[in-house]
Amino acid sequence: MSEIFKGNFTQQEPLPEASLAAAQEVLGHGRLHRYNLTPGEAGEVALLEQEFAAFTGASYCLATASGGSAIGVALRAVGVQPGDAVLTNAFTLAPVPGAIAALGARSIFVEVTEDLVIDQDDLAAKLGQAQVLLLSHMRGHICDMDRLMALCDAAGVTVVEDCAHTMGATWKGVPSGRHGAVACYSTQTYKHLNSGEGGLLITNDEDIAARAVLLSGSYMLYERHLAAPGPEVFERHRMEVPNISGRMDNLRAAILRPQLADLPRQIARWNERYSVVEEGLRGTPGLQIVARGEGEAFVGSSIQVLLPGWRPEAVQEVLARCAKRGVELKWFGGATPVGFTSRYAHWEYAAPEALPRTDAVLAGLIDMRLPLTFSLEDCALIARIIRAEVGAVYQAKTASAG
Ligand SMILES: *Cc1c(COP(=O)(O)O)cnc(C)c1O
């Protein structure tokens, strides 16, 4: 009799008690707008910004309404104009090309490698075509950042980092998001902190920071920020930067602050789960574990494996067989997007050019979330199920191929 998994791949943990208490307090006084403060009160959003700046070691931080809005603000703050080209990964999620499109700018997609990071040879060949790279650390895979920054610096290309999946990760000890000019994070329910919706942006550049605050909709109340530059920096930008309203509110910041304090412990728990699944899958014939870079300390909130060279029907059979046993796998090789699994060829508004190397990788790319509601036993069971079903389909496939 085959084992069945009964857990839910989209169920996160309840929020900590401290978040409930903090939310209660904000709801009790009713000052939800970030700038609605009593004399001497800092406000939950300003405190969150201060704490996230300290967590990453950045000089400045801005909280926003979503991860996508943080990216939009970042692109505008570094000077992207309508019609400009922006380089970005071909393997990422839809809000990334979406943020570029929202500005009226154009995406130029860069190939991805089998390690699921940006292909730096393809990047080097395309650097002359744009002034900005929106680098997405998709699914938490971090490329060789020394090489990437050297290439971009030499070409005068500004790097904006999308750290939606690398909050709390590091590369050679440097927090992810501290290499480029500015970095963006998401606090949407499926990321590493959960406020339903929300985003954070960090930078060490005072002009980018001031423009970002003004763009987010500060109503000239920027002196109420605790992780922003001084008023003299705002003086340089205040009349020139539009308000595109994308602020965070005190309720969401209140529930995020206790979660941020607890993030290191949660990261350790994610990585335990990741290791159990990875070990359980290692050595499965026909299945390739995605390698992790040497300098990378990642957050294992999801896992990716490749079924390299598999026919689409065989991949689909694995998915169907696993689904029957309660294991929900996502596939980035489908002809049409299902849920969040869209890939570059589906973003027709961005008029993507064909990227054969990326197509070959995504055709065999399987993705699975690892919510913290899974126990380590759950993770071992999930790995056994995937291993068995991949094995069954692979055997049939090689048998029929003769
Ligand atoms: C979630 C996510 C974002 C930001 O998304 P929001 O839903 O707007 O918070 C950006 N990039 C990637 C890769 C993401 O997964």
Count of structural domains, the chain:
2
Spatial CA neighbour of 270 closest among 306, 304, 303: 303
Q: Rg of the chain over CA atoms, in angstroms? A: 22
Residue pair 128/155 in contact by the 8 Å Cβ criterion: yes
Residue ranges of alpha helices (H) inside 139-192 are 145-155
361 and 250 in a common domain: no
Q: If you take atom 6 of ligand 1, which residue's CA is the nearest one?
A: 67
Look at residue 1 in the predicted model and tell me its pLDDT: 67
Ligand 1 and 138: CB distance under 6 A: yes
Ligand 1 and 95: CB distance under 6 A: yes
Residues 210-224 have pLDDT tens digits of: 999 999 999 999 999
In this structure, which amino acid lies at residue 137? H
Instruction: Evaluate whether residue 174 is within a structural domain.
Output: yes
270 and 172 in a common domain: no
Instruction: Evaluate whether residue 308 is within a structural domain.
Output: yes
Ligand 1 and 184: CB distance under 6 A: no
| CATH value at residue 100 | 3.40.640.10
Ligand 1 and 333: CB distance under 6 A: no
3 state SS of 173: coil
Ligand 1 and 166: CB distance under 6 A: no
The distance between the two most distant Cα atoms of the chain, rounded to a whole number of Å, is: 78
DSSP one-letter string for 118-131? B-HHHHHHHGGG-S
Q: If you take atom 14 of ligand 1, which residue's CA is the nearest one?
A: 164
Using the mean position of ligand 1's atoms as its centre, give its distance from the Cα of residue 177 in Å.
Answer: 14
330 and 235 in a common domain: no
C-alpha of 324 from chain center: 29
Look at residue 400 in the predicted model and tell me its pLDDT: 59
Using the mean position of ligand 1's atoms as its centre, give its distance from the Cα of residue 165 in Å.
Answer: 8
Please give the Cα distance from 209 to 234 (Å, whole number): 9
DSSP annotation of 112 reads B
Using the mean position of ligand 1's atoms as its centre, give its distance from the Cα of residue 68 in Å.
Answer: 6
Q: If you take atom 9 of ligand 1, which residue's CA is the nearest one?
A: 67
Using the mean position of ligand 1's atoms as its centre, give its distance from the Cα of residue 278 in Å.
Answer: 25
173 and 69 in a common domain: yes
Contacts (Cβ under 8 Å, ≥6 apart) of 69? 199, 216, 246
CA distances from 308 to 122, 157, 195, 333, 336 (A): 21, 33, 37, 11, 20
Please give the Cα distance from 350 to 327 (Å, whole number): 33
Residues 361-383 have pLDDT tens digits of: 999 999 999 999 999 999 999 99
In this structure, which amino acid lies at residue 389? E
Ligand 1 and 175: CB distance under 6 A: no
CA distances from 95 to 8, 67, 209, 330 (A): 25, 8, 22, 18
269 and 195 in a common domain: no
Ligand 1 and 198: CB distance under 6 A: no
Average pLDDT across the chain, whole number: 96
Spatial CA neighbour of 391 closest among 285, 315, 288, 317: 285
Ligand 1 and 381: CB distance under 6 A: no
Token digits for 24? 């209660």
Residues 307-344 have pLDDT tens digits of: 999 999 999 999 999 999 999 999 998 888 888 888 89
| CATH value at residue 313 | 3.90.1150.10
Please give the Cα distance from 133 to 85 (Å, whole number): 9
Last residue of a domain, one of 237, 261, 285: 261
Model pTM above 0.75: yes
Please report how many Cα atoms fall inside a 13 Å half-sphere around the Cα of residue 334, on the Cβ side: 16
Q: If you take atom 4 of ligand 1, which residue's CA is the nearest one?
A: 67
Ligand 1 and 180: CB distance under 6 A: no
In this structure, which amino acid lies at residue 253? A
Q: What is the dihedral of CA 369, 352, 125, 363, to 10 degrees?
A: 40
253 and 279 in a common domain: no
Residues 162-194 have pLDDT tens digits of: 999 999 999 999 999 999 999 999 999 999 999
Q: What residue ranges of the chain have pLDDT lower than 50?
A: 402
Spatial CA neighbour of 10 closest among 320, 372, 379: 372
Instruction: Evaluate whether residue 315 is within a structural domain.
Output: yes
Query: What is the number of the ligand 1 atom nearest to the C-alpha of 139?
Result: 13
Contacts (Cβ under 8 Å, ≥6 apart) of 110? 87, 88, 89, 90, 118, 119, 122, 123, 126
Please report how many Cα atoms fall inside a 13 Å half-sphere around the Cα of residue 288, on the Cβ side: 15
Please give the Cα distance from 16 to 157 (Å, whole number): 41
189 and 143 in a common domain: yes
380 and 272 in a common domain: yes
In this structure, which amino acid lies at residue 82? P
Ligand 1 and 249: CB distance under 6 A: no
Please report how many Cα atoms fall inside a 13 Å half-sphere around the Cα of residue 240, on the Cβ side: 11
Using the mean position of ligand 1's atoms as its centre, give its distance from the Cα of residue 388 in Å.
Answer: 33
Instruction: Evaluate whether residue 12 is within a structural domain.
Output: no
Contacts (Cβ under 8 Å, ≥6 apart) of 402? none
Residue ranges of alpha helices (H) inside 195-249 are 206-217, 231-235
Beta bridge partners of 171: 174, 296
Ligand 1 and 93: CB distance under 6 A: yes
Ligand 1 and 187: CB distance under 6 A: no
Instruction: Evaluate whether residue 108 is within a structural domain.
Output: yes
* Structural domain span for residue 276: 264-401
